[in-house]
Structure 1
Amino acid sequence: MIINSGYMAPEYALQGHFSIKLDVFSFGVLVLEIVTGKKNSFRNGDHIEHLLSHAWRNWREGTAQDIIDPVLSSGSATEMIRCIHIGLLCIQENVADRPTMASVVLMLSSSSLRLQIPSQPAFFMSNQ
């Protein structure tokens, strides 16, 4: 079954459960859309690609810089990769693994703050 939840966190999309981190998930999707310049689902050649899976795959393969929107090329690649990192932390499947919005604000405002390593996000779909 293929699920594209848009901005909905998995606990809400799949079970109708509210959590205090629903907004964190949505914010993470939005950050990834802004940094990549892509919608949550986009056409990649002959198939539809899902942004969360696309971002995770590139992060895991060490090619996160390749998904940064060329429009942002005059900005700091390090800052853009940090935003992808934060976006991935926000879209973790397990609610407990997502940061709070207060933590996200701190992560975005302090480049010296060390970030956790993200794990595979919610709704990951392999294209293989």
Structure 2
Amino acid sequence: MPTFNDLVAALSSPIASERNKAAVALMDIADSRAVQPLIHAIENPDNRNARGTLVYALSAFDCSGRFAQLFGWALEGGFETSNESISILHDQEIIPSEEDLLRSRAALEVAAQKACFDSKLKEELLALLGGVDG
């Protein structure tokens, strides 16, 4: 059985299935020391197209104080990353600070200008911001 340190090291694997397996194992262990390594793996640009399971694993931990970070992942992530990030925000009832709201609204406005931006995602993100459009 891999140790906690083995699992954290596996989050740096270039192979998505290995990262995902380690992330789920860390989720199951429920050791809060896993939060920072999971976030590091989620934010690694090399993992941009394969981080939904990493965000899912993060859902097992307290994410309060991470509204803007989760909102950003929801905004820029693929389908799974967006859905998992939104789920954490809802399920953990994370309350944004005023600064989080300002930054998140501005980021949403910029993203929504793109022709390919998903209108359903925009509605979900607006709801997280209290439904205020701009």
TM over 0.5: no
Q: Greater helix share, 1 or 2?
A: 2
Larger radius of gyration: 2
Q: TM-score, normalised by structure 2?
A: 0.24
Q: TM-score, normalised by structure 1?
A: 0.25
